[in-house]
Structure 1
Amino acid sequence: MTDRQPIFDTVAAQIAPFNKKGIELTDATSFATDLEWDSLTVMDFVAAIEDEFDIIITMNMQAEIETVGQLVDAVMKLQAA
């Protein structure tokens, strides 16, 4: 099994510029509830993650990803594909 900590750390670094409230990030951190992101912020962030990891996150996947942990798992899955 791949170690997910490096991916979590990279995701956290990508979140930092968008984390206006300075929320401490965990796997359970919600993009909508905890970080209070609007749809434009989400789109900008998804583009940054796709560029960073050289992956494509489909709209269907985006709709299912609500937390940082779910995003880390999705990135791991997409990189393994």
Structure 2
Amino acid sequence: MTDRDETIDKVARLIAPFNKKGVALADGTTFAGDLEWDSLVVMDFIANVEDEFDILITMNMQAEIETVGQLVDAIETLRNDASPRL
């Protein structure tokens, strides 16, 4: 399993309590359209993601993230940027 696959699994687990309609998740699943989340749900979810991955997703980044795949890519980028360089 790749790091990205592990990130997808963790993100899916974090989405589950907010996925009231049981929408099937894929890279292209949108938070606003498919999952029908409002801004309060998004903020709660992002707080959980930040805690789980020990990252900070800025408001500017949040505005650009519309799909599950984009979120996973952003998490991977933030985690890699935070890794110590040798």
What TM-score, normalized by structure 2, do the two folds share? 0.91
Any stretches of 5+ residues in structure 2 without a counterpart?
82-86
User: 1:6 offset after TM fit, Å?
Assistant: 0.4
Tell me the matched-pair count: 80
User: 1:10 offset after TM fit, Å?
Assistant: 0.2
Runs of 4+, deviation exceeding 3 Å: none
What TM-score, normalized by structure 1, do the two folds share? 0.97
Q: Distance in 2 between matches of 1:3 and 1:40?
A: 29
Is structure 2 residue 52 aligned with structure 1 residue 19? no
Q: Distance in 1 between matches of 2:60 and 2:23?
A: 26
Any stretches of 5+ residues in structure 1 without a counterpart?
none
Residue 30 of structure 2: aligned partner: 30
User: 1:3 offset after TM fit, Å?
Assistant: 3.4
Q: Which has the larger radius of gyration?
A: 2
The structure whose RCO (Cα within 8 Å, separation 6+) is larger is: 1
Q: Deviation per CA, 1:22-76: give whole Å up to 9, x if none.
A: 0000000000000000000000000000000000000000000000000000000
Q: Superposition RMSD on alpha carbons, in Å? A: 0.8
